[in-house]
Amino acid sequence: MSAFRLNLRDGVGTNLSDKSISFSFDGKSYRGIEGDTLASALLANGLSIIGRSFKYHRPRGVFTAGSEEPNALVTLHSGGRTEPNIRATEVELFEGLVARSQNRRPSVNFDLMAVNQLAGKAFSAGFYYKTFMGPALRGHKATRFWWVCEQFIRRAAGLGRGTTIPDPDHYARMNAFCDILVVGSGAAGLAAARRVAASGVRVIVCEESARAGGALASSPDFIDGEPAREWSADQIAELSAMDNVSILTRTTVQGYFDDNTFFAIERVTDHLAHKDRTVPRQRAWNIRAKSAVIATGALERPMVFAGNDRPGIMLADSARRYAVEFGTAPGRAVAVFTNNDTGWLAARDLAKAGVIVTAIVDVRTDIEASIRVLGEECRATIHSGSAIRSVKGMRGVNGIVIATYNELTGELGADSKTIACDCVAVSGGWSPAFHLTSQQGGKPVWDTELQAFLPGDPLQKWHGAGAMAGEFGLAQAFRSGEEAALKALADTGVAMPKQAAKIGSGPDIDGDEIDYAPAPVFEINSGGKSFVDLQHDVTAEDVRLAHREGFVSVEHLKRYTTLGMATDQGKTSNVTGLAIMAAASNKPIADTGTTRFRPPYTPVAMGAIAGEKYGHLAAERLTPMHDIHVESGAGMYANGPWMRPETYNLPGETVEQAYIRETKAVRAGVGIVDVSTLGKIDVQGPDAAEFLNRVYTNGFAKLPVGKARYGLMLREDGFLFDDGTTWRFDEHRYLMTTTTAGAGRVMEHLEYYRDFVWPDLKVALASVSDEWAGVAVAGPKSRELLKVCVKKCDVSDKGLPFMGLVDGVIADIPVKIARLSFSGELAFEVYCGAHWGSALWHALMSAGRKLDVVPYGLEALSTLRIEKGHVAGPELNGRTTPHDLGLSGMVSSKKNFVGSVLLQRETFSKQDRLQLVAVKSLDGQRIRGGSHLVAGSKDEPGISQGHTTSTCFSPELGCYISLALLEGGYKRHGEKLFATNPVRDAHVAIEVLSHHMVDPEGGRMRG
């Protein structure tokens, strides 16, 4: 293996096994070790340029060792599994992994788009807003220039390339409930988890990385005499064994929502070479916690200096972790640049792992002796009171030029010294990772002592612990973890025995004691190109330009420069950017404020958020006769949640031919149609009649037992809400039917009045839509058909008059038969228990065989009712009143009902309202759906005077017809207009008719 792989031994390569793995990057094969991340394996193989930046396409290398990585973005896998923009630092290596660099052409080492750098000064913040306007021409021409430029800009922008091949994997969800959620399993999280677990409450611990322990995994410290890593492994094993504790690794808590609802993503199979297909790729956890301990640690931030984006420059603690956890040297010779003590710890650990640390450059002059010793331990030259002036090398680091630095003025001295190195490990201090609490609206507070934002006061039940709360260092982490645990327990209401409620002394810690507060140095301004946001190429100069142009509020800074808007959401750049803006504005950072963090914490696969909905967007509702329709060759389509038959096509038949044949068969003989989808509501109680009387426009109090009545419902604003028939079974028991689409909302409407408006009425409402299968039997021969099969009841006109109800039996199935007609023909609706629905259908079909019964679908159902002038969904469009649809006769003036008062408003009686009419085609042309009624020619149609609502070919009238809403339509019967349909390229001469086209007297259905 390459020179970058260290000599693996105790304490070096703690994350690695001894198993070698092969993987590929940009088509070339490499080897890594089980336990590597893609980033550590690439570094170990000596690859330094991993990606290209967003704007200038500058070469970039690995900058961090975690989910905050801005630079090392790659595309994984291929085909439908293609995943762009994945951070190499987060990818666990497995055998056969295929990764590619992105945002480069032709290769990551030579990218033509890097010419953008040459125009760097012109590509400053706000560049796009100031140009590309093109010549000032009228109308569309004015935008055309930008439209052309935009095509190129869009292609140059973007990062990786997505795919249009569907993702073959699946996703799942888990709903979890716990007393306490612990986010993060480092020292603070572990301490909290131990404490709360002991009290017996239900605990969930979420850990972002593959194994629990957080920073303990690479800590050089000893706890209770054991190396921290081993100690934490023991603790975790103990916790895992407890019944009341779940530890979820590879699980990132992404969102913190109201009432302590947390959203986490578990990466279930992403790290596996061989995936079990029954196992989901990722699982979304919706966790409801009574309280939470948030121990998400802190993110190291860099300092900004000229040339700070070169491959080979990375965060100091990340460099340390590559050596300790992954046995990988981040460079052959590492220079450390820091403004705080943790940079020195990194240097010491790097050296201990076998990495050459050539120099430690610290902006501070005054450095504790105990810290200096660390530098001496690693035999680095020490340059205190110094800073980097520039970086040598174009595609990597050859060395750094340093100069003396004045901490008070922020100025570099005139001196300079060159230090040879190929890696700069930089530490600019630590930013607590309080993203989750900020999502909740908690306002962060700037801590001048720690030079960091802290989470601020909780708005919900959470308690911060460890570095996230500004409690840096192991001992503080343990103590704050325990404290947070006790507060969280108090939230859950679990009583703690006094003894147990004491904070213990915690484990015995043997380790470095350092000061975590950095010097307040964020930028070394030496005039060269210094990057604040590495991924979006936002420079310190861009921040100052934004200030110059008045974009000084943090939100303006972010939006104008795009600082913090890249895929890392500024995890390593926000604070530095604010500090530079604060300096430019001559304001303290505290007054500048910070932007709000928004969920998710890190980018989340959208399939995982959808969870089990991927591939199952919505449940399908099927009627009991569904399989029969499918077997009969009916074309099924989604009608809201329901699947319904459109037509039962014979071989070679079009949909239009089929519905015309079905309609004719009904009008001439008999047909049956599945009406099981109608909403059905059981209305019972001593006040049921009164209740119905209040919700319908027409009278229901006097509906006789054994009869049905058609009713209209309004909204309170007087517009039509729904319609249907209601059947009275006995004195106090009704069955209300609603439209298919209206079933749910009618139920809620009724419940609202029953519960909130008239709670004194004794009315019970129950949805029975699923209890009953319904079949309408329609046509002049429908009674004949029923007579063949019905037993135990009389279906003659006398026994079952129009709107009458009877109980009977068909093929041993108890049925209810109502004599209702939607088609205008003699017709019956036959209802039976849903589990008998298919048997009923078969019985009716076989009873009708000699009568040539046909099954008919929605298209014929619709044609029949259009011919009859019955309104349905397209006419009940939420903007029509009973008066508009010719239903004034249904509105009782003798009672008050829902909507009765506002229906009186003057506007509703205006004569020029859109009113229901029918229109018929005069020249045989088809009236297509969605036509408007106009007076003019195809080329100059004039304004719309109305529109068609439901169109069909009418076999009865022998022409195309439509119901329509026409301005003042009632008085315009006989008028000739055009049904214009420019989007369907049609313009049809029509005549306006009454909407009662077929059998207006109703003789047929009453016959």
Partner 1 sequence: MRYSAFAILKNALRGNRDWVPAWRKPEPRSTYDVIIVGGGGHGLSTAFYLASVHGITNVAVIEKGYLGSGNVGRNTTIVRSNYRLTPNSGFYEKSMELWRELSHALNYNVMFSPRGVLNLAHTPGQMDTHAERGNQMRLMGVQSELLDRDQVARLNPGLDVSGSARFPVHGGLLQPDAGNARHDAVAWGYARAADQLGVDILENTEVVGFLKDGERIAGVEVMRNGEPMEIRAAKTAVAVAGNTGRVMKMAGVDKLPIETTVLQAFVSESIKPIIPTVTTFGAGHLYVSQSDKGGLVFGGNIDYYNSYAQRGNLPVWEEVTGELIAMFPAFARLRLLRCWGGVMDMSMDGSPIIATGPLPGMYLNAGWCYGGFKATPASGWCFAHTIANDKAHRLNEAFTLERFKDGNPIDELGAGPTPWYH
Partner 2 sequence: MRLTCPYCGPRDHQEFTYRGDATAARPALDNTSVDDHNAYVYDRSNPDGLHRELWNHTSGCRTHMIVERNTVTHDVVSCEPVGPFAEQLK
Partner 3 sequence: MANLAEKLSPLHELAMPRSGSDKIILSERLCDSLVQVQAWPDSVGEVEKLINGTRGKRSVMPTGPGRWLIDDPAEGLEDKLRKKIGAELGAVTGLTHARVVVSISGEKATWVLASGIALDFDLSAFPTGTTQVGHHHEIGLTIHRTGENSFDLYVFTSLVRSFWQWIEKASAEPGFSVV
Q: Does 716 bind partner 2 (CB under 8 A)?
A: yes
599 binds partner 1 (CB under 8 A): yes
Q: Which of residues 703-732 bind partner 3 (CB under 8 A)?
A: 731-732
Site string for partner 1, 42-61 (x = CB under 8 A): ------------x-------
Site for partner 3 in 186-205 (CB under 8 A): 202
Please state, in angstroms and rounded to a whole number, the distance separating the CA atoms of residues 430 and 518. Answer: 8
Number of residues that bind partner 1 (CB under 8 A): 123
User: Shortest distance, CB of residue 80 to partner 3, whole angstroms?
Assistant: 19
Nearest distance from C-beta of residue 252 to partner 3, angstroms: 19
CA distance 70 to 536: 9
The single residue among 63, 263, 285, 691 that binds partner 1, judged by CB under 8 A, is 263
Please list every residue from 388 through 417 that binds partner 2, using CB under 8 A: none
- Sort 756 into a burial class: Cβ within 10 Å, 0-12 / 13-18 / 19+: exposed
Q: Give the torsion sign (CA, 670, 676, 682, 683).
A: negative
State yes or no: residue 321 binds partner 2 (CB under 8 A).
no
Alpha-helical regions (H) of 435-538: 435-439, 474-492
Per CB under 8 A, contacts with partner 1 among 687-746 are 715-719, 721
- Locate 69 and state its tokens: 């990585």
Among 163, 398, 553, 838, binds partner 3 (CB under 8 A): 838
271 near partner 3, judged by CB under 8 A: no
Check residue 612 for interaction with partner 2 (CB under 8 A). no
Task: Name which position in 267, 536, 621, 694 contacts partner 2 (CB under 8 A).
Answer: 694
Coil, helix or strand for 787? helix
Only segment of 211-219, 326-334, 494-502, 618-626 that touches partner 3 (CB under 8 A): 618-626
Query: Which of 31, 170, 211, 762 contacts partner 2 by CB under 8 A?
Result: 762
Helical pair 743-752 and 688-695, crossing angle rounded to 10 deg: 110
Q: Say whether residue 115 binds partner 2 (CB under 8 A).
A: no
- Contacts of residue 587, defined as CB under 8 A and 6 or more positions apart, other chains included, come to none
List binders of partner 2 among 230-259 (CB under 8 A): 257-259
Q: Which residues contact 548 (CB under 8 A, 6 or more apart)?
A: none
Partner that binds at residue 754, options partner 3, partner 1, partner 2, none, CB closer than 5 to 8 Å by kind: partner 2
Q: Is 27 in the site for partner 1 (CB under 8 A)?
A: no
CB of 748 to partner 2, least distance (A): 6
Q: Tokens representing 189?
A: 């999280």
373 CB-near residues (< 8 Å, 6+ apart): none
Number of residues that bind partner 3 (CB under 8 A): 54
**Of 833, 533, 853, 882, whose CA–CA distance to 698 is shortest?**
882
In whole angstroms, how close is the CB of 620 to partner 1 at the nearest point?
8
Residue 633, interface with partner 3 (CB under 8 A)? no
Cα(37)–Cα(18) distance, integer angstroms: 15
- Under the criterion CB under 8 A, does residue 292 sit at the interface with partner 3? no
Tell me which residue of 859, 819, 848, 854 sits closest to 1005, measured CA to CA.
Answer: 819
- Alpha-helical (H) ranges within 301-408 are 316-324, 342-352, 369-377
Q: At closest approach, how far in Å is the CB of 249 from partner 3?
A: 18
Site for partner 1 in 267-286 (CB under 8 A): 286
Q: Which of 175, 409, 499, 911 binds partner 3 (CB under 8 A)?
A: 175
For partner 3, the binding residues in 651-690 under the rule CB under 8 A are: 676, 682, 684-686
441 binds partner 2 (CB under 8 A): yes
By the rule CB under 8 A, 791 interacts with partner 3: no
Environment class of 652 (CB within 10 Å of its CB; exposed 0-12, middle 13-18, buried 19+): exposed
174 contact partners, CB below 8 Å, separation of at least 6:
266, 283, 284, 285, 286
Other beta carbons less than 10 A from residue 744's beta carbon: 14
Name which of partner 3, partner 2, partner 1, none residue 834 binds, using a CB cut-off of 5 to 8 Å depending on partner kind: partner 3
Binding partner 1 (rule: CB under 8 A), the pick from 31, 46, 81, 753 is: 81
Contact 214/297 with Cβ under 8 angstroms? Answer: yes
Joined tokens for residue 878: 């939420």
Assess 813 for contact with partner 3 (CB under 8 A): yes
- Distance CA(507)–CA(494), nearest Å, equals 25
Q: What is the DSSP string of 653-681?
A: --HHHHHHHHHHHHHHS-EEEE-TTSEEE
- First CA to last CA distance, the chain: 95
Site membership for partner 3, residue 733 (CB under 8 A): yes
Span interacting with partner 3, options 172-180, 667-675, 712-720, 941-949, rule CB under 8 A: 172-180
* CA-based torsion, 234, 240, 241, 245: positive or negative: positive
Q: Does 621 sit near partner 3 (CB under 8 A)?
A: yes
Residue 751 · residue 666 · CB < 8 Å: no
Smallest distance from partner 1 to CB 48, Å:
24
Residue 286 or 657: the one with the smaller Cβ distance to partner 3 is 286
Residue 282: beta bridge partners?
171, 267
**Residue 105, helix vs strand vs coil:** coil
Stretch that binds partner 1, among 152-160, 412-420, 476-484, 765-773 (CB under 8 A): 152-160
9 or 161: CB nearest partner 1: 161
Spatial CB neighbours of 732, under 8 Å, sequence gap ≥ 6:
684, 685, 686, 688, 689
* From candidates 502, 905, 971, 976, binder to partner 1 by CB under 8 A: 905
Q: How far apart are CA 837 and CA 813, in angstroms?
A: 9
Q: Any contact of residue 112 with partner 2 (CB under 8 A)? A: no
Compute the least distance from the CB of residue 286 to partner 2, in Å: 8
> Smallest distance from the beta carbon of 808 to partner 3, in angstroms?
14
| Residue 982 interacting with partner 1 (CB under 8 A) | yes
Query: Taking CB under 8 A as the rule, does residue 286 contact partner 3?
Result: yes
Q: Which does 694 bind (CB under 5 to 8 A by kind): partner 2, partner 3, partner 1, none?
A: partner 2
CA–CA gap between residue 786 and residue 780 (Å, rounded)? 12
Binding site for partner 3 (CB under 8 A): 170, 172-177, 202, 278-280, 286, 288, 612-613, 616, 618-624, 626, 641-642, 676, 682, 684-686, 731-733, 762, 764, 766, 768-773, 811-814, 833-839
> Binding residues for partner 2, per CB under 8 A?
257-261, 286, 288, 441, 459, 694, 716-717, 748, 751-752, 754-760, 762, 896, 900-902, 904-905
